[in-house]
Amino acid sequence: MEGRLKGRVAVISGGTGQLGRAVSLRFLAEGAAVLIPYYLEEEVRAFRQAHPREAADMRFDPVDAAQPDSVRRYCETIAQAVGAPGVLINLAGGYSYGPTVETAEPADFTRLFELNVLTALNLCRGLLPAMLQAGGGKIVNVGARAGLEGSANHAAYSASKAALQRMTEALSAEVKERGINVNCVLPSIIDTPRNRQDLPDADFSRWVTPDALSAVIAFLASDDARAIHGAAIPVYGLM
């Protein structure tokens, strides 16, 4: 598999979660140097225990991507260590079911915007100058099918993912003439242990797997996607 991303330096936020593991392992297998800014130490320990050989070839740094100062310090560290990354994958985010709009507090919306929008915004802002100076790069954000249409008890989540998609489109329009491709993927329900636990009666075979989604993300990070700008790629499985 190695070759398509050979020589690329890829920053993968959320790279230790269920989807993150699949993306990080795929990028490493395809030849990229993988840098993971992480928030939860226990996820890093679990990753290293499950994939000790692969994790030994990755770099892990503690970062709170929702905090601009934390991201700024991280970007300075990365610039000194490896120079400009060629790829940024924004996987960090969160999900919440409910409450209704009628019973929601502003904090319910603020929290999901911090997780799903500000994490990506801060990393884009932090790494874009180096990417532009280096002459280009790839940015892939993870939106959601839920960002296309609101549904009951998902107002805050849907709104945050819709905002991320609009930010993807705006950023693409701003930097595509300067050598940077910015796109996003829109998964439906991802087949993870947590989702199986929360929805035990669902038909899991219809969900999109982390491996299948990681393949689309790797494509968007490769030169094969050089003509794609500002796209929102649906990755729904059989949903």
Does some domain include residue 4?
no
The count of structural domains within the chain is 1
Residue 132 inside a domain? The answer is: yes
User: Is pLDDT at 1 greater than 60 in this prediction?
Assistant: no
User: What's the confidence (pLDDT) of residue 129?
Assistant: 96
Q: Is residue 177 a part of any domain in this protein?
A: yes
239 in a structural domain: no
Within 10 angstroms of residue 167's Cβ, the number of other Cβ atoms is: 18
Distance CA 127, CA 87 (A): 10
pLDDT in tens, 77-129: 999 999 999 999 999 999 999 899 999 999 999 999 999 999 999 999 999 99
Sheet containing 9-13, strands listed edge to edge, beginning at the edge strand earlier in sequence: 59-62, 33-38, 9-13, 87-90, 137-142, 180-187, 232-235
Alpha helices in the chain (DSSP H): 18-29, 41-50, 52-55, 68-82, 106-113, 119-134, 155-175, 193-198, 210-220
Dist CA 223 CA 45 (whole Å): 33
pLDDT at 232: 98
Asked, for residue 57, whether it belongs to a domain, the answer is yes
| Mean confidence (pLDDT) of the chain | 96
Radius of gyration of the CA atoms of the chain, in A:
17
**What 3 state SS string does 172-206 have?**
HHHHHHHCEEEEEEEECCECCHHHHHHCCCCCHHH
Other CB atoms within 10 Å distance of the CB of residue 1: 10
* Banded pLDDT at 3 (limits 50, 70, 90): confident
Distances (CA, A) of 15 to 72, 115, 126: 19, 14, 18
Query: What pLDDT was estimated at residue 112?
Result: 97
Backbone angles phi, psi at 34, to 5 degrees: -105, 125
- CATH code, domain with 72: 3.40.50.720
Mean predicted confidence (pLDDT) in 52-61: 98
pLDDT digits (tens, 9 = 90+) for 127-180: 999 999 999 999 999 999 999 999 999 999 999 999 999 999 999 999 999 999
Which residues span the domain enclosing 77?
A: 9-233
Mean pLDDT value of segment 194-205:
94
pLDDT at 2: 60
- 8-state DSSP, 6: T
With respect to residue 64, please indicate whether it lies within any of the assigned structural domains: yes
pTM score of the predicted model: 0.97
3-state secondary structure (DSSP) of residue 36? strand
Q: For residues 157 and 201, is the Cβ–Cβ distance under 8 A?
A: no
